Amino acid sequence: MAEEQDTGASMCALVKEIAKALVDEPDQVEVSTAERDDSTVIRLKVAPNDIGKVIGKMGRTARCMRTLLGAASMKYRHRFTLDIIEEHKQQGGSGHDDSHSDS
């Protein structure tokens, strides 16, 4: 169980470093995990103006990050998926989250 947590932390660190290298506001990159059945969901949140940079043209960048997680999933025999959280600012200052996942 401790090995799974270490692996999850390593995958979070990988996603965070990739995202920080892509965005204009690396200090706003946030990565968290959630356990779902027999898999780990890695949630990536970036500044609203950086969302396009982590998704990429036609989703290519996001797909590449998911491919890397898929390769790690095979090695560690534990499924990792990536959700990119997009926060929309609405009038009145409240926002809601939409997540993009195609795993």
Please determine, for residue 97, whether its predicted confidence score (pLDDT) is greater than 80.
Answer: no
Give the domain CATH number at 92.
3.30.300.20
Comparing C-alpha atoms, which of 85, 79, 3, 65 is closest to residue 36?
Answer: 79
What Å distances lie between residue 88 and 39, 56, 82, CA to CA? Answer: 27, 18, 19
The whole domain housing 48 covers 2-100
Span 12-36, pLDDT tens digits:
999 999 999 999 999 999 999 998 8
- How many domains does one find in the chain? 1
Span 37-90, pLDDT tens digits:
889 999 999 999 999 999 999 999 999 999 999 998 898 899 999 999 987 654
pTM: 0.78
